[in-house]
Amino acid sequence: MAMRALGIDIGGSGIKAAPVDVTTGKLLAERQKIETPRPALPDAVADVVKQLTTSFNWSGQVGITFPGVVIDGVTRTAANLDPTWIGLDVAALFAKAAGNPVRVLNDADAAGVAEMTFGAGVGEQGTVLMLTFGTGIGSALFVKGILVPNTEFGHIEIRGRDAEHRASDHARDVHDLSWGQWAGRVEEYLQHVEALISPQLIIVGGGVSRQSDKWVPRLTGIRARIVPAALLNEAGIVGAAMATVSDVVPDTSGASGTGH
């Protein structure tokens, strides 16, 4: 019997879900996506969680990513959603919405866990940094394959602003940057990161990883190896599902329901 869990990945623009075989990292059904509500208030997002759980007729463990710091099931930051999330027991909110036991973790941490287990980070023992470029910039840091949860390297200050306001995929869009211009900003950002943590490998994910050939080769001023995420945009869903059964995610993310 395959170990199965529903993975739900909450992003600034969309909320995606699919059931996952957590032993292989493969999706067991086509993923579904619903646009993130505007404004992205807790009850509205919880309603989407409910819709997605219902659409798969799901019963069992549910793993959910959140774009912010999550400690003991409580959200501490929510840079790209809404301030009403801060201090909220999000694990309890989502467990009620999903009607199932829930684990909640940071979105980039989830993507990183999936990549380290099934993707571009397999077998990497050194310092590995996963960065997701989307509405913001998410980060996940691994040493010897072990996650350091809730890093927020997207918020390093560059030229007086949050790095993610300059170098996220959203910034590329808003400022209508060419691939060359955007790669210049990403490189400047990565040089700051490298000065702080010297990773041996940087895995780049998020939607923009699908077009990595247009920008990754331009990042010539970085010492680390840089590779695109192998699971592309499914990494968050897979990592969310894995968090329900694996202690690869430290158990500070809180658990609700009867599954533990």
Q: Do 23 and 44 sit in the same domain of this protein?
A: yes
Q: Domain with 174 in it: what CATH number? A: 3.30.420.40
* pLDDT value for 232: 84
- Domain total for the chain? 2
Q: Do 217 and 247 sit in the same domain of this protein?
A: no
Q: Do 133 and 202 sit in the same domain of this protein?
A: yes
Q: Do 103 and 21 sit in the same domain of this protein?
A: yes
Domain assignment present for residue 25? The answer is: yes
Q: Do 74 and 23 sit in the same domain of this protein?
A: yes
Q: Using one digit for the tens of pLDDT, what is the confidence trace for 203-227? A: 999 989 999 999 999 999 999 999 9
With CA atoms as reference, report the closest residue to 107 among 135, 143, 68: 68
Distance CA 61, CA 7 (A): 9
Q: Do 76 and 127 sit in the same domain of this protein?
A: no
Q: Do 126 and 221 sit in the same domain of this protein?
A: yes
Backbone angles phi, psi at 4, to 5 degrees: -120, 150
Domain assignment present for residue 117? The answer is: no
* pLDDT value for 210: 93
Q: Do 219 and 243 sit in the same domain of this protein?
A: no
Q: What is the mean pLDDT of the chain?
A: 93
**Domain ranges, residue 89:** 4-109+235-256
Domain assignment present for residue 114? The answer is: no
CB atoms within 10 A of CB 156: 17
The percentage of the chain sitting over the pLDDT mark of 90, rounded to a whole number, equals 88
User: Residue 93: beta bridge partners?
Assistant: none
> Residue 13 pLDDT > 50, yes or no?
yes
Distance CA 247, CA 105 (A): 12
> Residue 195 pLDDT > 50, yes or no?
yes
User: Which amino acid is present at 203?
Assistant: I
Q: Do 183 and 136 sit in the same domain of this protein?
A: yes
Distance CA 219, CA 187 (A): 6
Which whole number is the average pLDDT over 171-178?
Answer: 97
Distance CA 9, CA 165 (A): 22
Domain assignment present for residue 115? The answer is: no
CA distances from 163 to 70, 171, 192 (A): 21, 10, 10
Q: Using one digit for the tens of pLDDT, what is the confidence trace for 94-124? A: 999 999 999 999 999 999 999 999 999 999 9
Which whole number is the average pLDDT over 32-60?
Answer: 97
Which whole number is the average pLDDT over 127-138?
Answer: 95
Q: Do 74 and 167 sit in the same domain of this protein?
A: no
* pLDDT value for 248: 59
Query: Is-contact 233 1, C-beta < 8 A?
Result: no
* pLDDT value for 207: 86
Query: Is-contact 107 9, C-beta < 8 A?
Result: yes
* pLDDT value for 2: 63
Domain assignment present for residue 161? The answer is: yes
* pLDDT value for 257: 45
* pLDDT value for 254: 45
Domain assignment present for residue 116? The answer is: no
Q: How confident is the model at residue 255 (pLDDT cuts 50, 70, 90)?
A: very low
Q: Do 75 and 148 sit in the same domain of this protein?
A: no
Q: Do 126 and 224 sit in the same domain of this protein?
A: yes
* pLDDT value for 251: 52
Domain assignment present for residue 56? The answer is: yes
HSE-CB of 72 using CA atoms within 13 angstroms = 1
Domain assignment present for residue 21? The answer is: yes
> Residue 258 pLDDT > 60, yes or no?
no
